[in-house]
Copies of this chain bind each other. A is one copy, B any other.
Amino acid sequence: MMAEAASSALKEAQLQRVDAIYIGVMNVEEFVGDSNFAALLTDTLGLAGVPSTRVETASSTGAGVFETAFYAVASGHMKHVLVLAGEKMTHLSTAKTTRILSEAIDRSERRYGATMPALAAMVAQKYAREFNLPQLKLEDILAQVAIKNHANGYLNHYAQFRKIITKDDYLKSQMVSYPLRLYDCAPITDGASAMVLTSQPTPIKVSGIGHATDTSAVRHRTSFTSFNSTKEAAHRAYAMAQLNPSDIQFAEVHDAFTPFEIIGTEDLGFFSAGEGWKALEEGVTLLRGRLPINPSGGLKARGHPVGASGLAQLVEIVYQLRGEAGTERQLERAEIGLAHSIGGLGNNNLVTILERTDGKRILKAGAIPFGEASTRWKPTVEIFRKSLTYTVLRN
């Protein structure tokens, strides 16, 4: 699966060989029982010899490996680099997969039985409390995230689930951890994504990357309805790109659980705290809205092969920037796109901004709202014009 994605990327980039391979897998050791995976995969690609490094930042691994490869190219030591991410999960029982994924949670909280859906459910409850949403209203907005992303995924032939769901389907779906139902949770997915980064000029460039961590224990944080790691990562990405949140035309936002999409759109500065659900309700984030969120279908419908998801988001953005997302999904305004990926329960997050180099920059006048613009960032890597950017996601 990863070899298939890589081969297509190299073929599209018209490259037989690259200077290095960066491989993102979250937990191939426990999911599959292999270690030394970077070398194994490189050999599988017929590229034995090429330097190969595995990179991991929990469920944001796909974005983390992209960042790492970006610096390698930006350093001037590499010209063409293959970034390859994937995860194989569906062969295991849900119980085993849940146990493995729970190892990303702080040990002291894990000991009390915390799982990812349980913690996400607490976040959703707290959000409703903090912003005075009645339970029925909360259910309704979470349903709207799921319905929207399934509608987008229906149009994406790389999506794991290509089915439209209704409010009724949502309400009938199994309760996982109140208020989160099955349709609030991203599925268990096998998937791979690949991209070639190059130092040569191309029509798409990496204009901003931000990365930040947070406390391991959720209870040590100052807020449960906002992720500091997203805010800090966004701050850095906007500063590097010298862009405002209002310059972003569309985004892939980490929706492993539906409440995370709403909170994500607030943390990224698209909407004020407690206002994300209103924008959703007003249709702003629909495929044909003012600021489409998760045009790919998101983790919810496209699927969530943990180590691959962050890179699959970037692949989607490249498709949109190139105008190759297909007539039904292609966005009209697609010069600047943002990807937001959450590692663990929001403690190793990345924000990445890609931009068309030939698109007009719609910079708002005035200050960068996320703080002082920094000049120490000098984006130099651009995505290969004919690179792949190819994603396989299947169940």
Binding site for B on A (CB under 8 A): 20, 26-27, 29-30, 33-36, 38-40, 42-44, 47-58, 64, 67-68, 70-72, 74-78, 100, 103-107, 211-217, 220, 228-229, 232-233, 343-344, 347-348, 376-378, 380
Tell me if B104 and A36 are in contact (CB < 8 A).
yes
Q: Which residues of B contact A56 (CB under 8 A)?
A: 38, 53-56
Tell me if B103 and A213 are in contact (CB < 8 A).
no
Q: Which residues of B contact A344 (CB under 8 A)?
A: 36, 39
Q: Which residues of B contact A343 (CB under 8 A)?
A: 36, 39
Tell me if A211 and B20 are in contact (CB < 8 A).
yes
A52 in complex: contacting residue of B39, B72, B213, B228, CB < 8 Å: B213
Q: Which residues of B contact A380 (CB under 8 A)?
A: 75
Tell me if A43 and B216 are in contact (CB < 8 A).
yes
How many whole Å from A349's CB to the nearest CB in chain B? 9
How many whole Å from A11's CB to the nearest CB in chain B? 21
How many whole Å from A218's CB to the nearest CB in chain B? 11
A39 in complex: contacting residue of B30, B77, B348, CB < 8 Å: B348
With a 10 A CB-CB cut-off, give which of A44, A51, A74, A216 has the most chain B CB atoms: A51
Q: Which residues of B contact A215 (CB under 8 A)?
A: 43, 48
Cα(A72)–Cα(B107), bound, Å:
30
Given contacts A40-B216, A51-B213, 5 further A-B contacts (CB under 8 A): A30-B35, A36-B58, A39-B216, A49-B213, A49-B214
Q: Which residues of B contact A64 (CB under 8 A)?
A: 53
Cα(A52)–Cα(B116), bound, Å:
21
Cα(A377)–Cα(B79), bound, Å:
11
* Interface CB pairs A-B, < 8 A, 7: A33-B103, A35-B100, A36-B103, A36-B347, A43-B213, A43-B214, A44-B216
Tell me if A378 and B216 are in contact (CB < 8 A).
no
How many whole Å from A182's CB to the nearest CB in chain B? 24
Q: Which residues of B contact A39 (CB under 8 A)?
A: 57-58, 213-214, 216, 343-344, 347-348
Q: Which residues of B contact A106 (CB under 8 A)?
A: 40
How many whole Å from A158's CB to the nearest CB in chain B? 26
Q: Which residues of B contact A211 (CB under 8 A)?
A: 20, 51, 53
Cα(A42)–Cα(B338), bound, Å:
26
A68 in complex: contacting residue of B68, B107, B228, B377, CB < 8 Å: B68
Cα(A212)–Cα(B232), bound, Å:
35
Tell me if A48 and B378 are in contact (CB < 8 A).
no
Cα(A35)–Cα(B343), bound, Å:
11
Q: Which residues of B contact A57 (CB under 8 A)?
A: 36, 38-39, 52-54
Q: What are the 7 A-B residue pairs with the smallest beta carbon separation, nearest first?
A: A36-B104, A51-B211, A74-B75, A36-B58, A39-B348, A36-B344, A75-B75
Cα(A53)–Cα(B47), bound, Å:
25
Question: When A39-B348, A103-B36, A213-B42 are in contact, do A228 and B49 touch as well, CB less than 8 Å?
Answer: yes
Cα(A194)–Cα(B204), bound, Å:
37
Q: Which residues of B contact A26 (CB under 8 A)?
A: 35
How many whole Å from A160's CB to the nearest CB in chain B? 23
Tell me if A54 and B55 are in contact (CB < 8 A).
yes
CB closest residue in chain B, given A23: B56
Cα(A343)–Cα(B38), bound, Å:
10
CB closest residue in chain B, given A52: B213
